Amino acid sequence: MKFGWLTLALSPSPAEDAARIDQQLAQAQEAESLGFASVWLTEHYFTGESVYNDALMFAAALAMRTERIRIGFAVLQMPFHHPVRLAVQLALLDNLSKGRVDAGIGKGTVYNEFEFVGHGLRSADSRARMEEALEIFQRIWTETPLTHEGKYFKVHVPELRPKPVQQPGPPLWRSVISPASFQECGRKGIPILTARLGVPRLRERWALYAASLAEGGHDAATQARLLADAALWRNVYVAASDAQAEDELCALLLRTRAHMMHIRHDLNPPDFVIDPAMLNPWTDPAVSDADALPYVLETGSLYGSPARVREQVAELRDAGVQHLLCQTGFGDMSHASNIASMRRFGQEVMPAFL
């Protein structure tokens, strides 16, 4: 197996932002020293989540402070980026990092409409914007001069400079959850990221992705590589004992959920309604904490002593997962607690699977 480290921590107040940014840089460097294969950055705005906000600038800082670890995005919210500018930024980042970039892309948050409003947009056309941006992306790496005249973008690009180190460009990953998305990405040979799936459902989705890769006519080496890359995102908290890990993780997750519900209630515009199909017990404000917590522990979390977490990782491996993204920071968790959990995982769990 291979392991990535993912950051989605919260800065509780503007006064703490600078310190929290420095801490996340230090945590990413610690991930490299512990042997994590990749670091994955999230992109959120205005509330202290993803406190650096601009994941691309933060990634450039990481590229200068690391040597081996790959730098991924889970995910870039495409409607907030002009596709030509984003292609240039990713090409530069690929040069700065010497070819270590993985670009997860998505149509934007389905819960935080205030992020769209803050960028002068609404989410109703986010999928269409993303699809048109992707059309430009799929051509710009190899087809300059490029002319595109669409609904959202009208561009003429003489040449993309600098050329990315990875050819034709950094791998473009997609975030998936539905069976149809696993099938589509498998047939097209697109690397995938997913989260919040219980083990029985995971087995089904991984088998579906494998079958779709074969249906897409990809050669055996490509199928094997994409299956090895297919990434599962989990909360990971390792403490000295099972009881300590459960108590501390539950408290952190409940504070995180309270923050999440508060900002959505207060900041989303009155005319915005979350698509009911996108809700689950953790994201549905109508579900109590007492019911939401068991759901997120079962479908989204690995926690306990090192021995217990090794058993949980082994269960995922046996379900077909070869690439695990570990979110080790939750809400306002302290830097010291995060580093301690990372070290237990890196030193006492990961070696059993490498």
134-192 pLDDT tens trace: 999 999 999 999 999 999 999 999 999 999 999 999 999 999 989 999 999 999 999 99
Q: What is the per-residue pLDDT across 234-269, written as a single tens digit (0 to 9) for each?
A: 999 999 999 999 999 999 999 999 999 999 999 999
> Can you tell me the mean pLDDT for 277-281?
92
What is the average pLDDT score of the chain? 96
Based on the structure, what is the number of domains in the chain? Answer: 1
Which domain, by its residues, includes 79?
37-174
* Residues of the chain above pLDDT 70, percent: 100
In a domain, 78, yes or no: yes
Query: Is the model's pLDDT at 9 over the cut of 90?
Result: no
- The predicted pLDDT at position 258 comes to 96
Give 196's pLDDT tier (boundaries 50, 70, 90).
confident
Q: What is the per-residue pLDDT across 322-339, written as a single tens digit (0 to 9) for each?
A: 999 999 999 899 999 999
Confirm if 264 and 111 have CB atoms less than 8 A apart. yes
Q: What is the per-residue pLDDT across 59-75, written as a single tens digit (0 to 9) for each?
A: 999 999 999 999 999 99
Tell me the torsion sign for CA atoms 334, 338, 341, 347.
negative
For β-strands 70-77 and 101-106, DSSP reports them as parallel
In a domain, 188, yes or no: no
- The predicted pLDDT at position 169 comes to 96
In a domain, 163, yes or no: yes
Confirm if 89 and 140 have CB atoms less than 8 A apart. no
In a domain, 281, yes or no: no
CATH code at position 109: 3.20.20.30
> Can you tell me the mean pLDDT for 123-133?
96
In a domain, 162, yes or no: yes
Q: How far is CA 297 from CA 27, 113, 246, 337, in A?
A: 24, 26, 9, 19
Which of 102, 113, 51, 49 is CA-nearest to residue 79? 113
In a domain, 53, yes or no: yes
Distance CA 316, CA 319 (A): 5
| Token couple for 348 | 């006492």
- The predicted pLDDT at position 81 comes to 97
